[in-house]
Structure 1
């Protein structure tokens, strides 16, 4: 379902089917990137990062968006604001497909 501001809500599904968090975004990829930045096991570089499968159920629909996600630590940019820490978590995702669930 699309909100008034054009964003949609996506629930992060665990392997047992429970939903632990909700991420919003204009596209499923935007929500998946937000979810990927919260991966606990981040790598030292993008190449060394462990890949994980994440599943996002689009609220109000039967669509389950499946992504391969990975995250890594990197140094903050030189022109960073004062509040930003010295290291930041970056992430990337690759869409694996869409499944349709029996229950929305």
Structure 2
């Protein structure tokens, strides 16, 4: 379901049963937001990939990604409020499942 601002909502179901909602213009944008919440590794090479399943609200689609996160030093021209170490993330699309009624 597309909102007035063009963004779509995607629900991430945790193992505990809780759902977090991420929004974005594309499923990848929402998956990147979800991946930044993963436990970050010291570097991208050391990061473990975790499967992220995002259900698109209003449809029967479940977008499946591998996501990973790592810590990185903030750029030299960072604003004053930004911490010295930031979390970066990346995702790789695995496919789409369709929910059955």
Q: TM-score category by the smaller chain?
A: over 0.9
CA RMSD in angstroms, aligned pairs only: 1.2
Could you list the structure 1 runs, at least 4 aligned residues long, displaced by more than 6 angstroms after superposition.
Answer: none
Task: In structure 2, list runs of 5 or more residues that go unmatched.
Answer: none
TM-score, scaled relative to structure 1: 0.92
Confirm whether residue 64 of structure 1 aligns to residue 62 of structure 2. yes
Secondary structure of the 2:72 match is: strand
Task: In structure 1, list runs of 5 or more residues that go unmatched.
Answer: none
Deviations 1:34-83 (CA, angstroms, capped at 9, x unpaired):
0000002x111111001100100000000000000000000000000011
- Give the C-alpha shift of residue 20 in structure 1: 1.8
Determine the structure 1 residue equivalent to 2:87. 89
TM-score, scaled relative to structure 2: 0.95
Determine the structure 2 residue equivalent to 1:8. 8
